[in-house]
Amino acid sequence: MKKKFPWKNLSVILVAAGESLRLPGSVRKPFLKLAGKPVIVHTLENFLPLGPREIILVLHPRDLAHLEKNLNQTFGNLGVAKMVAGGKSRTQSVRAGLGALCPEASLVAIHDAVRPFLEESSLKKLMQRAWETGAAIFALPLKDTVKETDADFSITSTLDRTNLWLAQTPQVFHTSLILKAYEKLSPDAAFTDDAQVAEAAGFPVQVVPGSPRNMKITFPEDLNLARALLAKEEREH
């Protein structure tokens, strides 16, 4: 019989420390409004039904200074346990979040704050898989044909997409596993996701099929799509 995960031992790290260079403006991506609320609030609310022990926000230093004065105005009673400043890279930012974990956290979910569309049932499946195996992430199988090119953009080969996946977040780990993986990194290491950190340390990571709905708001058109998707869902309910 599978041992169910004790949800009270779950910690969530929301990474929101980027410069938003691909979606420029006076407001960084996590705090852009989506149906009247900041994107990061929508994202955070997805985790509340799971009953996590804590939710840690890793923020750009300028956002941190502002939110320390206006926490209740932005997040109300949403269960934000801690806010910490991120670093110059995603890897440094996640390291800062891991450093703020409470000792009781046995499982940690690391998630992009600008992925506001998650489903509770899928999240529970992901958490359970990570609890059973040590590490699991959401990912999408590739549907399009994948080409490899040289520096001049000439196609050099067509890759077999059979076993290729597009990684998403959350990426969920036994806390001890991901802490050990990060301890092995050099201070200036820069990885694009946390599964890669675990892989580099020799830990296997499982894939759980994700959803195209779990989109990352990166470009202006992504924000427009997110607003349209949310408006459609509100009309249907």
Report if residue 2 sits inside a domain: no
Lowest mean pLDDT segment, chosen from 65-74, 107-116, 145-154, 216-225: 65-74
Q: Is residue 151 part of a domain?
A: no
Domain residues for the domain of 73 are 8-137+167-236
CA–CA dist 130, 215 (Å, integer)? 21
Identify whether 116 is part of a domain: yes
In the chain, how many domains are there? 1
For residue range 200-236, list pLDDT tens digits in order.
999 999 999 999 999 999 888 998 999 998 888 777 7
33, part of any domain: yes
Going by pLDDT thresholds of 50, 70 and 90, the confidence category of residue 62 is confident
Tell me what the mean pLDDT of segment 103-124 comes to. Answer: 95
Question: What are the two backbone dihedrals, phi and then psi, of residue 111, each rounded to the nearest 5 degrees?
Answer: -140, 145
pLDDT classification of 27: cutoffs 50, 70, 90? confident
In a domain, 86, yes or no: yes
E strand map for the chain: 10-16, 33-34, 37-38, 54-59, 80-85, 107-112, 135-141, 146-149, 155-159, 165-174, 206-209
Domain with 120 in it: what CATH number?
Answer: 3.90.550.10
Task: Indicate whether 143 belongs to any domain.
Answer: no
pLDDT tens digits along 138-186: 999 999 999 999 999 999 999 999 999 999 999 999 999 999 999 999 8
User: Could you tell me if residue 67 is inside a domain?
Assistant: yes
The rounded distance, in Å, linking the Cα atoms of 5 and 107 is: 9
pTM: 0.92
Give which of 112, 27, 22 is closest to 74, Cα–Cα: 27
Any domain includes 1: no
